[in-house]
Amino acid sequence: MGFDRIAAAEDEAERIARLRLARTQRIGPVHFDQLMARFGSALRALEELPRIVRRTGGALTPCPLDKLDTELARGRAAGARLVVRGDADYPDLLQQIDAAPPVLWTLGSLQPRRKAIAIVGARNASAAGQKLAQILTHDLGAAGFHIVSGLARGVDTRAHEMSLKSGTIAVLGGGVDDIYPPENRGLYEQIREHGLLLSESPVGHRATASDFPRRNRLISGLSLATIVVEAELRSGSLITARLAAEQNREVFAVPGSPLDPRCRGTNDLLRQGANLCESAEDIIRVLEGQMGCHAPESLPAPVTFSKPQDEDDLASVSRRLLDLVSETPMHRDDLLRLSNAPAWMGLAALSELEITGRLMAEDGGYYRSCGSVPV
């Protein structure tokens, strides 16, 4: 599961360092966790980056301080709060997923519960689909569940509107100050007043198409289960459902007419084994029976390196790995075996080579050469 329990930041300098490390180019959640596991703090990891660059012959520049200052100033101006992994109010369910976001920005006073359900669906949802979303939201709210969605048109909008009193969380693709779609400005303000707005993007960032899959990962990660009310076969809601399944969360789908293209995606989810959802009772029965949603779950201990990392040894392993890779992708296990290095050191070297731009990771655990070093 990765580095699930990062120690609480002891002071504000460490919290800001975690934000700076997370905003550094090519350091995503996975590499953030690896660096934290190796060095114990973001302050120490930032100190080590120049040595990593020298060791790999790559290129990596920490997020510029002026860019960091701008993000923090925008956060203060918006009234947003920075939440980093290790903070007591970092959402428990989100912390359990692989590659959980290192930092979040939030607006609002709602504290996320473990009892949360995601409701997503078509932006052009039918009247029946929107009505069912309202009923499900009302009944789940009455049962004590917070509702998580993405503030999009259609099903998302109806789910947020109906859960304003019982607890609603809107996950945004842009920054927490990015109101999209514009017609949901009034709803955005209501959620800010009564619920919670949440994003892993910098404050001031305007959402682009590539941001929404990342947002969908948070929607499912914050939730015990994801309900898809209506969705076409090529729908972002189906991405959310797939991510929920990968996170070992329950997936529910509302059946619909095969004549309506907005129901083909949900019907396909049912063919693939999703739980059938016709009422809130369907969800509550599965969660209580299979997941024990009322009982707190224990988190595994953090992953730590048991051996000191010698720079000369790591440099030697890095050189061997660079000799082994080419533009033809090669699996990580083969690289580690052929490098003849201890697994922990080979993995550390692969991570360093990737964040400094010498290697590129591909799906399935494959790596290939990047050619020239990016600046």
Q: Is the pLDDT of residue 350 over 60?
A: yes
What mean pLDDT is predicted for residues 119-138? Answer: 96
Report CA-CA distances (Å) from 248 to 96, 262, 345.
Answer: 10, 26, 30
Using pLDDT thresholds of 50, 70 and 90, give the confidence band for residue 206. very high
Averaged pLDDT score across all residues of the chain: 89
3-class secondary-structure state, position 226: strand
Q: Is the pLDDT of residue 270 over 80?
A: yes
Task: List the one residue out of 364, 336, 342, 303 whose CA is nearest residue 353.
Answer: 336
Q: Which has more confidence, 229 or 305?
A: 229
Q: Which has more confidence, 352 or 118?
A: 118
Handedness of CA 87, 89, 90, 93 (dihedral sign): positive
What pTM, to 2 d.p., does this model score? 0.85
**Proportion of the chain in helix, strand, coil states, percent, rounded to 5:** 45, 15, 40
Residue in the block written with tokens 């919670």: 196
Asked if residues 132 and 229 have their Cβ atoms less than 8 Å apart, the reply is yes
The first and second tokens of residue 75, run together, are 């956060």
Task: List the one residue out of 336, 322, 330 whose CA is nearest residue 57.
Answer: 322
> For 129-183, how does the pLDDT look when each residue is reduced to its tens digit (9 = 90+)?
999 999 999 999 999 999 999 999 999 999 999 999 999 999 999 999 999 999 9
Question: What is the set of domains in the chain, with CATH numbers?
Answer: 12-106 (no CATH), 112-176+189-196+203-291 (3.40.50.450), 311-369 (1.10.10.10)
